[in-house]
């Protein structure tokens, strides 16, 4: 499956990244010389995405200026200056700017390195894995030992077929890696205004239609100024293999 559309969630306040985010939005904080959001855009570009919606709120003008300089992707802005809509509401508003159909959803501040050259990327693997007949959403997940900067919280348990349920403390468990593939028609009945995307995660779990695919490589998050150094070390250490 070729997925040409994507939504990048980038409207958060980045409060834990202060004082750096006193002067810039978190998605523009550089890690190893590259703004965080550019890692997500690189992942999407590599897999063939062409149109990308990005929501903005905090330091929106800086975000728009940065994104307007990108000429090889058709980037549309979902403006949340007047009201933050949380993960679910922000996603639904942004999806209305894109054609209905299969769409990647990515967090602007989470990324991975260390994919093997010559092999399908994680997003390409996710596109091959996704089956809309049996899945509401397919998401990349990662083992805690393959992360840098994560707080250790485990999100889901995954069975041998990839079906996910909320982690109950038993077994190894996996972490949501900030990338989903879904059909945007899933949100036809979405509520108005702000809501958390977890509502749809739990609905999909109840229906047995939330699936995960294990990320290959190393996953990185940088939530605080102190996390930037370890994140940059991980980029240098793992890079892209092969």
Residue 40 has pLDDT above 70, yes or no: yes
> Vertex 174, ends 179 and 171: CA angle to 5°?
165
Lowest mean pLDDT: which of 1-5, 66-70, 124-128? 1-5
User: Mean of the per-residue pLDDT values for the chain?
Assistant: 94
Q: What is the pLDDT of residue 170?
A: 82
Q: What is the pLDDT of residue 242?
A: 35
Please give the average per-residue pLDDT across 157-176, as a whole number: 93
CATH superfamily, domain 5-238, is: Spore Coat Polysaccharide Biosynthesis Protein SpsA; Chain A (3.90.550.10)
Each residue's pLDDT tens digit, 76-92: 999 999 999 999 999 99
User: Two tokens at 202?
Assistant: 């739990």
Each residue's pLDDT tens digit, 105-119: 999 999 999 998 889
Please give the average per-residue pLDDT across 212-233, as a whole number: 95
Q: What is the pLDDT of residue 241?
A: 43
Domain boundary assignment for the chain = 5-238
Q: What is the pLDDT of residue 240?
A: 58
Query: What single string gives the DSSP state of each residue in 173-232?
Result: -BEEEEEEEEEGGGGTTPPSS---THHHHHHHHHTT-EEEEEPPSEEEE--SGGGHHHHH
User: Two tokens at 43?
Assistant: 């992942």
Please give the average per-residue pLDDT across 97-112, as a whole number: 96
Task: Give the residue, 241 or 196, on which the prediction is more confident.
Answer: 196
Residue 23 has pLDDT above 60, yes or no: yes
Residue 51 has pLDDT above 80, yes or no: yes
Sheet of strand 210-214: strand arrangement: 74-79, 51-56, 5-9, 102-107, 175-183, 137-142, 210-214
CB < 8 Å & 24+ apart, contacts of 72-75: 72/45, 73/41, 73/44, 73/45, 73/49, 74/50, 75/51
Each residue's pLDDT tens digit, 128-160: 999 999 999 999 999 999 999 998 899 999 999
Lowest mean pLDDT: which of 126-135, 154-163, 166-175? 166-175
Q: Taking the C-alpha atoms of 123, 129, 133 and 138 in order, what is their torsion angle to the nearest 10 degrees? A: -50
Residue 148 makes CB contacts below 8 A (sequence gap 6+) with 218, 219, 220, 221, 230, 231, 233, 234
Please give the average per-residue pLDDT across 206-224, as a whole number: 96
């Amino acid at each position: 499956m070729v997925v040409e559309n994507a939504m990048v969630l980038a409207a958060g306040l980045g409060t834990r990244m202060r004082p750096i985010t006193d002067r810039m939005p978190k998605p523009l904080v550089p890690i190893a010389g590259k703004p965080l959001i550019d890692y997500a855009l690189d992942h999407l570009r590599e897999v063939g995405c062409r149109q990308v919606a990005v929501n903005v709120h905090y330091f929106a003008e800086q975000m728009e200026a940065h994104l307007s300089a990108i000429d090889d992707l058709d980037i549309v802005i979902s403006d949340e200056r007047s009201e933050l809509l949380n993960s679910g509401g922000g996603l639904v508003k942004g999806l209305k700017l894109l054609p209905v159909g299969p769409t990647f959803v990515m967090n602007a501040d989470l990324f991975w390195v260390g994919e093997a050259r010559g092999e399908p990327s994680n997003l390409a693997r996710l596109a091959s894995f996704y089956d809309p007949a049996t899945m509401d959403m397919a998401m990349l997940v990662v083992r805690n030992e393959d992360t840098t900067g994560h707080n250790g919280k485990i999100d889901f348990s995954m069975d041998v077929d990839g079906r996910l349920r909320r982690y109950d403390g038993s077994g190894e468990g996996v972490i949501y890696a900030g990338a989903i593939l879904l059909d945007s028609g899933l949100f036809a009945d979405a509520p108005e205004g702000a809501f958390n995307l977890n509502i749809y995660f739990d609905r999909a779990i109840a229906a047995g239609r939330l699936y995960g695919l294990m990320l290959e490589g190393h996953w990185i998050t940088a939530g605080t100024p102190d996390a930037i150094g370890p994140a940059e070390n991980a980029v240098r250490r793992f890079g892209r293999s092969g």
